[in-house]
Amino acid sequence: MNPYPHPLIAREGWFYLGLASAVALAIQFLAGFVWAWPFWIIALFVLQFFRDPARPVPAGEQWILSPADGRIVAVLPSIDPYLQRPAIKVSVFMNVFNVHSNRSPVTGSVRQVVYHPGQFLNADLDKASDANERNALVLETPAGQQLTCVQVAGLIARRILCYAKVDDALQAGQRYGFIRFGSRVDLYLPPQVRLRASIGDTVKATTSILAEWPQS
């Protein structure tokens, strides 16, 4: 994958921002600002939703970074449904005011890409991990460690975008996808990792460290 240049506004939002701005401009031209201001509010909402800032990557190969902005809503023992092994699931819930660009939690190669159609339940609910539309990446680091990163659609989100393919090489913090309008990302980590995040924590993609690999 080519590095993403991180424009101020994510490319996935250019159409929506242009449409919202055009509608607001047309109504202001035809009827005046009194009628147009609600549509300018909508355009501002679209602008903030699709912002996509570049983020500094913490130095060190031992870190497992947050793949998304949001709030930690789950940290619990689980079974990785893609690697079929015990895991710790860490879930990050994104509301409509968070940045929705998704970043790779580690440097590594994409071993699997698995898409599941599904429902659109509230992404804050734990059952959304199994019931909702989702797209999973299994990543393997240069040291042979594996984890699974799953984009999960939410109540409003109706489109998961994933640009990574099998055998792609991702850098830690590299942008690989986007979910529109509210969603979550689940990480399935080996039980041996040292967690550095707790339920209720507010995290940011790339800059927040969720866990670290065990020292060899």
* Two tokens, residue 116: 């599941």
Mean pLDDT on 142-166: 85
Mean pLDDT on 140-151: 95
Q: What is the reported pLDDT for 118?
A: 61
Q: What is the reported pLDDT for 190?
A: 96
Q: Indicate the class that CATH gives domain 63-212.
A: mainly beta
Q: For residues 170 and 57, is the Cβ–Cβ distance under 8 A?
A: no
* Two tokens, residue 150: 């799953």
Q: What is the reported pLDDT for 124?
A: 52
Q: What is the reported pLDDT for 50?
A: 84
Residues of the chain with pLDDT > 70, as a percent, come to: 87
Q: What is the reported pLDDT for 122?
A: 52
In degrees and rounded to multiples of 5, residue 91 shows phi and psi of -115, 130
Beta bridge mates, 82 = none
Tell me: the pLDDT tens digits for 10-24? 888 788 889 999 999
| Pairwise pLDDT comparison (168 vs 97), residue with the higher score | 168
| Pairwise pLDDT comparison (97 vs 89), residue with the higher score | 89
Mean pLDDT on 182-199: 91
Tell me: the pLDDT tens digits for 37-95? 999 999 998 888 888 888 889 988 899 999 999 999 999 999 999 999 999 999 999 88
Q: What is the reported pLDDT for 127?
A: 56
Mean pLDDT on 26-39: 90
CA distance 27 to 167: 49
**Single pTM value for the model:** 0.84
DSSP 56: P
The answer on pLDDT for 152 being more than 80 is: yes
Return the domain boundaries, the chain.
11-49, 63-212
For residue 6, name the pLDDT band (cuts at 50, 70, 90).
Answer: low
Residues forming the active site? 183
Q: What is the reported pLDDT for 103?
A: 94
Tell me: the pLDDT tens digits for 99-123? 888 999 999 999 999 998 765 555 5
Q: What is the reported pLDDT for 15?
A: 87
* Two tokens, residue 22: 């055009």
Q: What is the reported pLDDT for 153?
A: 81
Q: For residues 171 and 198, is the Cβ–Cβ distance under 8 A?
A: no
